[in-house]
């Protein structure tokens, strides 16, 4: 609850507190009038006058002072801070919890201090219902009006939006190609900086779309990065050599792309007045552990890939200022179909082999991993981008859902449910990495929950195979390590770029 006070913005919260207090007052007045009408029908004139004075005295002398407990309880429940970023049913539940708690505390204090002059029993239930419905309804109406107003462009808004696009570095990849579409659907102008080492087929359908701009360039090229960040307010950094094997086969390039380029982008972003910088990290930074890891757990990177993420997180969070707000998202193990599908990811690969080879090979099935569908990754990034800065600035969030912590044996069983013709083969090997991750922080603070589970993701992959949308899952373009082994460094750096990268790679 103290986090709510730390992120309290008086200028933004006071109007909401006054509005909620007005809802409470209106609820009390309506419930007391209802109680009066219910009782007055059976009273004579003098008794009616006495009842009127009693209810009036109760409202002025008892209810008004005690009603101040409502905004206080709402504040401690996060209704003026973190829950502003919540959406849908979860937001309704949080608001209902806050209003219910406030009503119960009010009734307790009412009984404790005003035993001879308490709220009429006939109005208590009506009052509680009205407060709950009013606080939820006010927020629903606001969200409805804001969404409705967003359908009609405000004069001049398009020109402003073009000046302040969201820059997605690595936007042509597995996650980025989905995220770009979600950003455009949300009304954002999107600029992508990507070396297109894997091609542009994942975003080809966006190239002529209004509000979308592609800048082909390497994130290690200082000139490309400077040009891409000009006039940008928010940056989402997805570019990386992803995966342990892909990093190990070319450690030099991995260090340049995953760490040195990130350091360079931070400095350029700050110099260009970028306000928000969302960085895609990985839950692999926790290494092997038999404990449930959360954002306060010690990191224990056991691969170059994980180490570059840890180092990038450190320099990014150290760069935070009053005008530069970094956010780190540690992604669970991603799965699911996409515009540039990957079959070097465990769930996708096992599903492909179950379909094509009728075999599901599991290495050390007792190992645990956290999983997240690629579309839920994009939703989580978008939610973080839209959240109030007070909730996310300088923070680390594990991005995923605790319901998707699964052992590899459980993964195999879920795949066989979708591919019943496949058999499971269990194999032991030296890889004993085992970790489960807590995602409570992003759920509690931002209301994030995954929509798609393993079952839905595996079924969607089967449908893609059946309609031949993925004719050959072994194609190297679907495997980062194999593709980079053939392509080398992809986009070669010149002498100037190499010196710049060397400078940022140093301590």
Per residue in 340-356, pLDDT tens? 999 999 999 999 999 99
Kindly state the tokens that stand for 318: 């150290």
State mean pLDDT over 229-246.
92
Dist. CA 477–CA 487, nearest whole Å: 10
Dist. CA 191–CA 216, nearest whole Å: 10
Q: Are residues 264 and 130 in the same domain?
A: no
Q: Are residues 114 and 172 in the same domain?
A: no
User: 147: pLDDT confidence band, cut at 50, 70 and 90?
Assistant: very low
Q: Are residues 63 and 193 in the same domain?
A: no
Dist. CA 36–CA 29, nearest whole Å: 10
Q: Are residues 462 and 408 in the same domain?
A: yes
Residues 402-439 have pLDDT tens digits of: 999 999 999 999 999 999 999 999 988 766 667 889 99
**pLDDT for residue 381 is more than 50:** yes
Dist. CA 455–CA 442, nearest whole Å: 23
The three-class DSSP label of residue 369 is strand
The three-class DSSP label of residue 327 is strand
Residue that finishes a domain, picked among 120, 151, 182 = 151
Q: Are residues 108 and 162 in the same domain?
A: no
- pLDDT for 414: 97
- pLDDT for 117: 66
The partner residues of 360 in beta bridges, in order of sequence, read 424
Residue that finishes a domain, picked among 151, 171, 196 = 151
Q: Are residues 321 and 267 in the same domain?
A: yes
As a dihedral over the C-alpha atoms of residue 306, residue 311, residue 312, residue 316, rounded to 10 degrees, the angle is 140
**Domain span including residue 497:** 158-505
Q: Is the pTM of this model over 0.85?
A: no
Q: Are residues 177 and 64 in the same domain?
A: no
Residue that finishes a domain, picked among 126, 151, 176 = 151
CA distances from 129 to 26, 96, 125, 406 (A): 12, 10, 6, 41
Q: Are residues 109 and 23 in the same domain?
A: yes
Reference 239, options 206, 210, 182, 281; nearest CA is 281
Q: Are residues 9 and 113 in the same domain?
A: yes
Query: How many domains does the chain contain in total?
Result: 2
Percentage of the chain lying above the pLDDT 70 cut: 88
CATH of the domain at 409: 3.40.50.720
- pLDDT for 146: 47
């Amino acid at each position: 609850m103290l986090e709510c006070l730390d992120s309290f913005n008086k200028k933004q919260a006071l109007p909401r507190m006054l509005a909620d207090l007005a809802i409470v007052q209106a609820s009390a007045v309506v419930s007391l009038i209802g109680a009066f009408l219910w009782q007055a029908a059976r009273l004579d004139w003098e008794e009616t006058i006495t009842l009127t004075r009693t209810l009036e005295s109760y409202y002025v002398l008892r209810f008004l002072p005690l009603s101040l407990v409502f905004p206080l309880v709402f504040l401690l429940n996060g209704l003026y801070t973190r829950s502003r970023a919540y959406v849908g049913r979860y937001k309704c539940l949080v608001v209902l919890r806050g209003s219910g708690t406030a009503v119960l505390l009010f009734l307790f204090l009412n009984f404790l201090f005003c035993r001879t002059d308490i709220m009429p029993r006939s109005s208590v239930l009506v009052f509680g219902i009205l407060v709950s419905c009013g606080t939820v309804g006010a927020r629903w109406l606001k969200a409805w009006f804001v969404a409705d107003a967003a359908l009609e462009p405000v004069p001049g808004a398009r020109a402003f939006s073009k000046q302040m696009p969201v820059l997605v570095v690595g936007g042509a990849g597995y996650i980025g190609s989905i995220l770009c579409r979600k950003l455009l659907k949300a009304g954002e102008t999107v600029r992508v900086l990507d070396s297109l080492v894997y091609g542009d087929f994942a975003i080809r359908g966006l190239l002529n779309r209004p509000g979308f701009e592609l800048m082909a360039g390497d994130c290690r090229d200082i000139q490309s990065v400077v040009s891409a960040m000009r006039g940008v307010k928010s940056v989402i950094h997805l570019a990386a050599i992803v995966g342990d094997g892909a990093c190990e086969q070319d450690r030099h390039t991995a260090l340049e792309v995953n760490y040195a380029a990130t350091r360079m982008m931070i400095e350029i972003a700050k110099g260009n007045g970028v306000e928000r910088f969302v960085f895609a990290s990985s839950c692999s930074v926790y290494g092997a552990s038999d404990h449930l890891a959360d954002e306060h757990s010690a990191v224990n990177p056991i691969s170059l890939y994980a180490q570059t993420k840890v180092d990038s997180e450190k320099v990014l969070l150290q760069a935070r200022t009053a005008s530069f707000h970094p956010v780190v998202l540690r992604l669970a193990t991603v799965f699911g179909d996409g515009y540039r599908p990957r079959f070097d990811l465990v769930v996708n690969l096992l599903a492909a082999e179950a379909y094509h080879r009728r075999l599901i090979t599991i290495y050390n099935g007792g190992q645990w991993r956290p999983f997240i569908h690629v579309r839920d990754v994009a939703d989580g990034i978008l939610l973080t981008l839209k959240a109030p800065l007070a909730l996310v600035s300088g923070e680390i969030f594990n991005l995923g859902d605790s319901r998707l912590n699964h052992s590899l044996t459980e993964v195999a069983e879920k795949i066989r449910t979708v591919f019943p013709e496949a058999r499971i083969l269990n194999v032991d090997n030296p890889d004993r990495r085992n970790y489960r991750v807590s995602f409570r922080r992003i759920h509690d603070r931002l209301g994030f929950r995954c929509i798609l589970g393993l079952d839905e993701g595996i079924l969607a992959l089967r449908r893609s195979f059946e309609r031949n949308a993925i004719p050959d899952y072994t194609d190297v373009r679907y495997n980062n390590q194999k593709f980079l082994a053939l392509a080398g460094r992809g986009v070669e750096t010149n002498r100037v770029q190499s010196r710049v990268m060397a400078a940022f790679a140093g301590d």
